Structure 1
Amino acid sequence: MSADHPIAVVLLSGGLDSMVSAAIAREQGFIIHALSIDYGQRHVRELDCARDIASRLGAERHVVLPLDLRRFGGSALTDDIAVPKGGVGDDIPVTYVPARNLVFLALTAAFAESSGARDIFIGVNALDYSGYPDCRPEFIASFAETARLGTKAGAEGHAFTIHAPLQHMTKADIARESARLGLDSAWSWSCYDPAPDGSACGHCDSCRLRRKGFADAGLTDRVAYFGDRPNNLGEGF
């Protein structure tokens, strides 16, 4: 690490938002150390995408950390609970994984401290999202203070900066930012419940929000959705 090119630890799920967040970190001149969590989610496609994104963005280091949250359950992503396909509602959905971002950010802070990094990037979004409480700005601000209080780095006056560059963007804004950064949307994966043929289901909350974002932005999402013809991608949300 040099003063001109400091390290940033990026929480990289393999989804669109985390990909854009990582690319913004790179654009800002950070050396990327990426952290992905293998938490027992319903499929490994997102983790495969995380590995590909880390490679494409030139991450100096990429750690895929096993953490089996299936032992806790309580979510459609880690338990034998059907993924809802009826549309995005107002309540916190069953795809919420208990305290996921709280746990993940704690691990990211530990990785950052061990790497000598003081900057953490996370792709949370508080506008077009599924109502998860751990995506809210007040949570991110609170965690930054917790990390300062609970680490050797913080105690020695080296607080962490939590970057959430997509915090106040719509999904359409994020789709446009992805295009501006020269990213291929096909590198990322957002679907909670892939179809048997390996395509995105198109109907879970994550698919609906993503598809609407690309459609509102007037852009084509190159991820294949189940039942779509090649010229119909991004429609039908």
Structure 2
Amino acid sequence: MLQHEKALVVFSGGQDSTTCLLWARQQFAEVEAVTFDYGQRHELEIECAREIAGELGVRHHVLDMSLLGQLAPNALTDTGLEIQDGEDGGLPSTFVPGRNLLFLSFAGVLAGQIGAKHLVTGVSETDFSGYPDCRDAFIKSLNVTLNLAMDEPYAIHTPLMWLDKAGVWELADELGALEFVRVKTLTCYNGVKADGCGDCPACRLRRKGLQQYQAQKAQPAR
């Protein structure tokens, strides 16, 4: 644990970012969270993040990034677009161009204001749906750029980078919070909390990961 360090968690109220928030609370002396309002389909996501932060006693910031939805049409901000998986190697319709670039840049500015030197984000190169701004190379590159731009030694932490969804559930369990994450979070693209609608790509990925982890856990120890 970094006993005297402060971290800012990029926080959506979903499975991944909530697991990261719980992880950060064990790693750092002080933790705050930031949620971005970018015109996402369901405002319930922001309310869910607010509720979780409040329950965990974490100071919570909400920043207006609504311009992002206007710049880059996508299925998360435009209800007229259908949520679809990528085809023939293409990106899914839920990809929001530049989202993590902007979120982490703004988080870096906020971190400077609150005295945090650590940023935590739940991106993963294992279950990243092809999103280019979830890759480890991007995070490392942005970390260097952010430090140069701010002239401060920030560190971006990605505790889920090499975990699949089963691994994320396992980490939540190790943190003593599997049921908390399962019941309190909102991952569903259709805005349904907990186990979600069951049909959208996010719900299918989440359910498959939970089933895989439960199967692994049920296996007798050798």
Cross-structure match for 2:189: 192
194 and 46 in structure 1: CA distance in 2 versus 1, 3 angstrom threshold: closer
Structure 1 consecutive aligned stretches of length 4 or more whose deviation exceeds 6 Å: 86-89
TM-score, normalised via structure 1 length: 0.82
List gaps (5 residues or longer) in structure 2.
216-222
1:39-90 Cα shifts (integer Å, max 9, x gaps):
100002221221122123221x211112213322421011221112x69974
Name the aligned partner's letter for residue 187 of structure 1. K
List gaps (5 residues or longer) in structure 1.
220-237
Distance 2:137 2:102 in 1: 16
How many residues align? The count is 209
Q: Percent identity?
A: 40
67 and 34 in structure 1: CA distance in 2 versus 1, 3 angstrom threshold: same
Distance 1:175 1:29 in 2: 21
Distance 1:105 1:96 in 2: 16
1:172-218 Cα shifts (integer Å, max 9, x gaps):
010111122122111111111246x9972212221111111001001
TM-score, normalised via structure 2 length: 0.87
Cross-structure match for 1:146: 145
Cross-structure match for 1:8: 7
Name the aligned partner's letter for residue 159 of structure 2. P
1:204 partnered with 2:200:
yes
Cross-structure match for 2:55: 56
Name the aligned partner's letter for residue 7 of structure 1. K
1:104 partnered with 2:103:
yes
Cross-structure match for 1:171: 165
Name the aligned partner's letter for residue 56 of structure 2. L
Which residue, 139, 151, 160 being the options, matches 2:154?
A: 160
1:79-114 Cα shifts (integer Å, max 9, x gaps):
221112x69974311100111000100110001111
1:142-192 Cα shifts (integer Å, max 9, x gaps):
0000101101xx2xxx31000001100110010111122122111111111
